[in-house]
Chains A and B, each alone.
Chain A
Amino acid sequence: MFIKHSRLDRVILMLNSTFLILAVLMVVLPLIYVVIASFMDPSVLLSQGLSFNISDWSLEGYKKILTNPAMIRGFGNAVFYAASFAILTVMVSICAGYALSDDRLKGRSLFMTLFLITMFFGGGLVPTYLLVKNLGLLNTVWAVIIPGAVNVWNIILSRTFFKGVPKELREAANVDGASEMKIFLSIVLPLSKPIIFVLALYAFVGQWNSYFDAMIYLDNPSLHPLQLVLRSILIQNQVDPSMISDQLAMAEMKKLSEIIKYAAIVVSSLPLLVMYPFFQKYFEKGVMVGSLK
């Protein structure tokens, strides 16, 4: 780079850095606040706010949240839903994308249109709910996993990916006498690890963070995923009475329920926030491939 910066340029660059630092602070400060607050002694937090004095800290919130049966069950359910959803949606999208990438498939554009229409137009909430109900899926894990499994975006992503796999590879295997199934399983699939990984990552995170399908389809609390448990703690203010013993006075209870909220946020968000930097490049790859249409 040979760019010479004029004085005006330098002023702009300085402003630029300032604004970027501000942006980062705005993003990060609330998170830091939550983490510190979660370690505070409840009564200190309510009376004087954050304190950096170790003696004002306590693990009370974490003790309550990590021993809460609803949280533990919700965590387990969330892992199960997210993992099975990711597996199913990857299988469906990869298969469809592979088929659509093959020129020999008749009526490809017809199928693409069939999928694309659903991106812009849908039947709506109530008809979808009635359908799931009539299929007998209400209050079963399937209601959360199956209806969203076909994702047009994923199909387009995997089709684009497979189009980039050299045709010669398949043809050579064909000449060697490999069947279509064998070509797919032993040649194409091993090459598709990146796309499988990207799709699975997106599906897992999406399902992990969602609450809506579970809210409308699952009445039974023992099936509820983490996000629904969090909703009742964070938003509906229903801290499980078993978390706070009855002898405690109302005021104590209120303090404790505050700290439980902070701990719940940390416990539920930390796994993803810790993991995502390691997968950042894959997430970015997903966004980039997606933007190519």
Chain B
Amino acid sequence: MLAPAVILTLIFKYGPMYGAIIAFKDFSPIKGIMGSEWVGFYNFEKFLSSPNFTVIFMNTLKLSLFGLILGFPVPILLALMLNQVRRAGVKKNIQLLLYAPNFISVVVVVGMLFIFLSPTGPINQLFNLFTDEPIMFMSRPEYFRWIYILSDIWTGAGWASIIYVAALANVDPELHNAANLDGANLLQRIRHIDLPTIRPIMAIVFILAAGNIMSIGFEKAYLMQTATNLPTAEIIPTYVYKIGLQAGDYAYSSAVGLFNSVINVILLVTVNFIVKKLNEGEGLY
């Protein structure tokens, strides 16, 4: 019964890992992966010494890091706020609405961004009250990260709060009563009762997010790219796609992708180690 999963994993997960040796070769489609010449770390050196490297690497890192810093606290805040809503029906309905964007596809979300932020779109119509000059949101590099991250929060924060909401629901009300009798106000109770309850979950979510810092999704960034916002919008995954599948430089593109994966694994291990230290020995593994 395990066979289908194992076979599919070997073919479609381990197959590409084996195929990744193409990164160390001067790949020629005629000779195939095995027949092509070994070139060692040539493709990696080519990437690391190319003028693109710093820009693309930093774009990837910044987009992800800022996304984590801005995005990580929002679901926690939402959950703490929802936890104060006493009437169960009201709480359910608020949650229902907050979760909705999670079910909208990335194509539609980016499509909405283009419509809303276009020079004649509703946001600019609003801004027209103050200034005549429309703001070219989607084509200016300086806005790309903000739009990317804020729209990510719009789509996912409500959904991401589920897990904290559930954890908070398990807090024994007696704890709050006792603290209240001792004169603790709402903020003190949140700080000393609610927050410690969800801390282990926060740690796990954080490790997982931080471990994925370099594996930020291709899907949204690619759709959001315009001819002129590339100086900040080009990230490693989109670059890999363009030089690999569009331009056909398979070996070089694989090397860039592999470089990214390795950094990712290193990050995951490091973050897990640090959080474990800070979190009294509780990490992901």
Contact = CB atoms under 8 A, between A and B. Distances in A.
A261 B254 CA distance: 36
A191 to B, nearest CB: 16
Given A130-B19, A273-B104, A95 B12 contact: no
A20 B201 contact: no
Interface in A67-119: 91-93, 95-96, 98-100, 105, 111, 114-115, 118
Interface of B: 1-2, 4-6, 8-9, 11-20, 22, 33, 78, 81-82, 84-85, 94, 96-101, 103-108, 110-112, 114-116, 120, 122, 125, 154, 158-159, 162-163, 166, 173, 176-177, 180, 185-187, 201, 204, 211, 218-219, 223, 237, 240-241, 244-245, 250, 253-254, 257-258, 260-261, 264-265, 268
A234 B186 CA distance: 47
Mostly, the A contact residues are helix
Given A120-B264, A264-B111, 16 more contacts: A9-B186, A24-B97, A31-B101, A95-B2, A100-B2, A111-B2, A120-B211, A123-B16, A126-B257, A127-B20, A230-B108, A230-B111, A235-B114, A268-B105, A284-B162, A291-B163
B103 to A, nearest CB: 5
> Which of B1, B11, B154 lies at the interface centre, i.e. has the most chain A CB atoms within 10 A of its CB?
B1
Contacts of A136: none
A53 B201 CA distance: 49
Contacts of B112: 30, 34, 265
Contact of B16 (A20, A34, A92, A122): A122
B186 A5 contact: yes
Interface string A18-38: 011001101110110110000
Given A227-B105, A231-B223, A146 B8 contact: yes
Given A2-B177, A111-B6, A234-B108, A126 B245 contact: yes
Interface in A31-70: 31, 33-34, 46, 49
A163 to B, nearest CB: 15
Contacts of A147: 12
Contacts of A209: 103-107
28 contacts: A23-B81, A24-B98, A30-B154, A46-B120, A96-B1, A98-B1, A111-B6, A114-B6, A120-B264, A122-B13, A122-B17, A123-B15, A124-B240, A124-B260, A125-B244, A126-B240, A155-B5, A209-B103, A230-B111, A235-B107, A235-B110, A235-B114, A268-B105, A272-B103, A272-B104, A276-B99, A283-B99, A287-B163
A20 B85 contact: yes
Mostly, the B contact residues are helix
Interface string A248-270: 00000000001001101100110
B111 A122 contact: no
B162 A287 contact: yes
Nearest to B33: A130
B101 A27 contact: yes
A141 interface: no
A92 B8 CA distance: 9
Contacts of A4: 180
Contact of B116 (A30, A149, A184, A231): A30
A12 interface: yes
Interface residues of A, number: 87
A118 B244 CA distance: 22
Interface of A: 1-6, 8-9, 12-13, 16-17, 19-20, 23-24, 26-28, 30-31, 33-34, 46, 49, 91-93, 95-96, 98-100, 105, 111, 114-115, 118, 120-131, 146-150, 155, 184, 205, 208-212, 216, 227, 230-231, 233-235, 258, 261-262, 264-265, 268-269, 272-273, 276-277, 280, 283-284, 287-288, 291
Contacts of B201: 291
A248 to B, nearest CB: 19
Given A125-B257, A280-B96, A150 B8 contact: yes
A280 B94 CA distance: 13
Contact of B110 (A93, A148, A234): A234
B2 A105 contact: yes
Contacts of B11: 131
Contacts of B94: 20, 24
Contact of B107 (A1, A33, A234, A258): A234
